[in-house]
A and B are shown apart, each in its own frame.
Chain A
Amino acid sequence: MSPRAADAIIVGSGPGATSAAYPIVQSGASVLMLDVGNDETRYKDLIPPASFLDIRKTDPRQHRYLIGDDFEGVPFGTVRVGAQLTPPRQYIARDTDRLTPLSSSSFFATESLALGGLGRGWGASSVMFDDRDLEGFPISATDLAPHYEAVAARIGISGERDDLLPYFGQISSLQPPMEADSCARLVLSRYTAGRARFNERGLYLGQPRLAVLTRDLGDRRAQQYREMEFYADTDRSVFRPSFSVEELRSSPRFTYATPYLVESFVENNDGAGVEVAAAHARTGEQVRFQARRLVLAAGTMGTARIVLRSFGLYDTPVPLVANAHIYVPCLNLAMLGQPMQERRHSLTQVGFIYDPDRDCRHLVYGEIHGYRSLLLFKLAKESFLPVPEGMRIVRELMSALLILVIEHDDDPSPDKRCLLRRGPAGEPDRLEVSYARDPAQVLRERRAEKEIRKLFRKLGCLPVGRVDAGPGSSIHYGGPLPMTSQERPLTATPSCRLRGTRTVYLADGSSFPYLPAKPLTFTLMANADRVGGIVARDLR
């Protein structure tokens, strides 16, 4: 039976929650992590530790995990959020419709109640925010620097000190970069040959910075290049927060308690502690837990729900920001007809930054991906040609196909908000999101994309489309309870203590006032490590 009290309760088990837990546990305090904790049990034992190509040619059970026992991996609609959530990854979003409903006609959110949270499907991009990225934050890059180092040493980050170093930041424990595939290497060599010309126009390319091991670390092995990252964690080279939960559980001071959906908190009158109300995720039974400090890391929208419900602030809008996320399929024409290499990975092959004014304001972050392991039939579906012809054409173009993933920054505005609606009797409360980007912002983004497409043409990559999966598709969210130096309700202090409370801290994207174009996860983890340290000191 789980204890009902600890020095600190942490809500959630994702990248923020686990990063906050380490410094608290290491300080000698006890931590109780409350989580719904869904996990994948159906497919994981089916997936052999073999390469994607080997599996495709030999494994008679591959259909079970590639398209799913219930054919859940056969999408029939248009491109949607979480297209990379293959059958063995779909548990990440399981139960969210039932337990944490969200409605919106303009925002496509993905939330998680899984062990490890959204981090179980993380693409592992791990870049640092610099002072320009943190302009709207009450903290600086110097404040975060030791925490980036601590997180990097813990999870393992690989990358290169190349043209992207000024944008991605310096990490002392950086492991060697991942091997890019032949298609990506060709793009990089063309960039290197014309570097001055591309830099002049604001384009910088380099090796991606990824939370993937290229050298063994603890019981995790270096990347084996099996191209199965969208389906399995067989070599454990790609960091997943569930690995941290496993490690933390070896400490007697750490308890992981499931399946609890935290609903609200109330501080004790003397301000010396907090009571947390949770529901058993399967039976609905109400359970109460006690702690001296509470760290909310239930994901941006999950934490917003808990705070708004605890304060009784139904129907009260709070801000929401999300990176715009665009896919641009391109053909690297020189690769047409070339053999595809067996040894490769499915994550980012090349990183890029578009910074036309070289002032780091409104820069665009980008990644180059391959596609092969997501299966060909999904692409053939996008063709209007008869299915056999569409399939053959896509197959022959596959060796030359690159997907540019482009991310833009996002500022809060009155048109981007969420609010909590009280659920009818017996039903959960519902988060409502309304989200509309400012037309000037959209225009600026489209202009930047046009330039990027032109520059990639010069790199020999012919753009053949543009797919906007819609607001929310980046799965990078922030904004509802921004950290700020100004005394305002529904904000957090620079220490990420929730204003209006003495014992409640935020350790996820909910406290990010703004989202730069760079992916937030690594910074979210560094900030959570910082918050964990603050809580640990507070507990002394």
Chain B
Amino acid sequence: MSRHLIGREADPAVLARYAEGCRKLFEGTPDHPGGAHLAFALRHPWSLPCLDAACGLLQPQGILRKKLFLMLAILETTPRHADLFLPQPRSRGWLAGRLVVWGVGGLAKTAMGLLLFPLAGRQR
């Protein structure tokens, strides 16, 4: 998940905190929607960006997105990753270009995710 979110492996302390968060927030509660999509993404890590995108539209309260946001919250509050979450001065051109790239990239992943979503939902 951290590779998907910030493009690199999280350190062991972050992973331990994430595991603790999953235990405290998600264990012992009834089945969360989207369990099949999460299981699919764990079996096929290449599918995570697309399923994340599709769940953003179709299942924003599903377990996949919840676990991603938990990891994001942990990464954001770790000094080593702080710069990734704090705005930096940018030129207007850089900003416009990046916003277009990220927006288009996000939409492309969403389109692929929408194709993958029903397939992943059928598999356990």
- Rounded to whole angstroms, the CA-CA distance of A388 and B2 in the bound complex is 10
Which residues of B does A touch, CB under 8 Å?
A: 4-6, 17, 21, 24-25, 49, 52-53, 56-57, 60-61, 65-66, 68-70, 72-74, 76-79, 82-92, 94-95, 98-99, 102-103, 105-107, 109-110, 113
Instruction: Give the dominant DSSP class at B's interface.
Output: helix
- Rounded to whole angstroms, the CA-CA distance of A240 and B83 in the bound complex is 33
Instruction: Contact check, A67 vs B79: say whether CB atoms are below 8 A apart.
Output: no
Interface string of A66-82 (1 = CB under 8 A from B): 11001101101100000
Instruction: Contact check, B52 vs A386: say whether CB atoms are below 8 A apart.
Output: yes
By a CB distance below 8 angstroms, the chain B residues around A384 are 56-57, 60, 110
By a CB distance below 8 angstroms, the chain B residues around A70 are 24
Instruction: Contact check, B56 vs A339: say whether CB atoms are below 8 A apart.
Output: no
By a CB distance below 8 angstroms, the chain A residues around B4 are 387-388
Instruction: Contact check, A63 vs B74: say whether CB atoms are below 8 A apart.
Output: yes
Instruction: Contact check, A396 vs B98: say whether CB atoms are below 8 A apart.
Output: yes
- Rounded to whole angstroms, the CA-CA distance of A76 and B57 in the bound complex is 15
Report the stretch among A53-61, A417-425, A460-468 that lies at the interface: A53-61
Residue from A58, A66, A76 within 8 A of B77 (CB atoms): A66
Instruction: Contact check, B89 vs A58: say whether CB atoms are below 8 A apart.
Output: no
- Rounded to whole angstroms, the CA-CA distance of A249 and B20 in the bound complex is 42
Which residues of A does B touch, CB under 8 Å?
A: 53, 56-60, 62-63, 66-67, 70-71, 73-74, 76-77, 336-340, 375-377, 380-381, 383-393, 395-396, 398-399
Residue from A62, A71, A76, A339 within 8 A of B79 (CB atoms): A62
By a CB distance below 8 angstroms, the chain B residues around A57 are 79, 82-83
Known A-B contacts A71-B21, A385-B106, A393-B99; the reply to A340 vs B66 at CB < 8 A is no
A-B pairs under 8 A by CB, number: 126
Residue from B57, B73, B106 within 8 A of A67 (CB atoms): B73
- Rounded to whole angstroms, the CA-CA distance of A71 and B99 in the bound complex is 31
Which residue on B lies nearest to A388, using beta carbons? Answer: B5
Residue from A74, A386, A392 within 8 A of B110 (CB atoms): A386
8 nearest A-B pairs in the assembled complex, by CB-CB distance = A389-B106, A337-B90, A63-B77, A385-B106, A386-B53, A339-B89, A384-B56, A377-B72
Instruction: Contact check, B17 vs A389: say whether CB atoms are below 8 A apart.
Output: no
Q: How close is A276's CB to chain B, nearest CB, in angstroms?
A: 40
Instruction: Contact check, A391 vs B85: say whether CB atoms are below 8 A apart.
Output: yes
Which residue on B lies nearest to A78, using beta carbons? Answer: B61
Residue from A73, A385, A392 within 8 A of B56 (CB atoms): A385
- Rounded to whole angstroms, the CA-CA distance of A62 and B78 in the bound complex is 7
Known A-B contacts A66-B77, A386-B110, A396-B99; the reply to A74 vs B25 at CB < 8 A is yes
Instruction: Contact check, B56 vs A67: say whether CB atoms are below 8 A apart.
Output: no
Instruction: Contact check, B95 vs A337: say whether CB atoms are below 8 A apart.
Output: yes
Which residue on B lies nearest to A70, using beta carbons? Answer: B24
Known A-B contacts A391-B5, A393-B103, A399-B87; the reply to A386 vs B77 at CB < 8 A is no
Q: How close is A129's CB to chain B, nearest CB, in angstroms?
A: 39
By a CB distance below 8 angstroms, the chain B residues around A393 are 99, 102-103
By a CB distance below 8 angstroms, the chain B residues around A63 are 17, 74, 77-78
Instruction: Contact check, B56 vs A71: say whether CB atoms are below 8 A apart.
Output: no
Instruction: Contact check, A395 vs B77: say whether CB atoms are below 8 A apart.
Output: no
Instruction: Contact check, B102 vs A395: say whether CB atoms are below 8 A apart.
Output: no
Instruction: Contact check, B76 vs A375: say whether CB atoms are below 8 A apart.
Output: yes
Which residue on A lies nearest to B51, using beta carbons? Answer: A386
Instruction: Contact check, A386 vs B106: say whether CB atoms are below 8 A apart.
Output: yes
By a CB distance below 8 angstroms, the chain B residues around A339 are 88-89
Instruction: Contact check, A67 vs B85: say whether CB atoms are below 8 A apart.
Output: no
Known A-B contacts A337-B89, A396-B95; the reply to A391 vs B72 at CB < 8 A is yes
Q: How close is B20's CB to chain A, nearest CB, in angstroms?
A: 8
- Rounded to whole angstroms, the CA-CA distance of A459 and B95 in the bound complex is 22
Query: Can you name 16 A-B residue pairings with CB atoms under 8 Å?
Result: A56-B79, A56-B82, A60-B78, A63-B74, A66-B77, A73-B73, A380-B69, A383-B56, A384-B57, A384-B60, A385-B56, A386-B49, A387-B65, A388-B4, A390-B106, A395-B87
Residue from B49, B66, B103 within 8 A of A76 (CB atoms): B66
From B25, B85, B89, name the one whose CB has the most chain A CB atoms within 10 angstroms.
B85
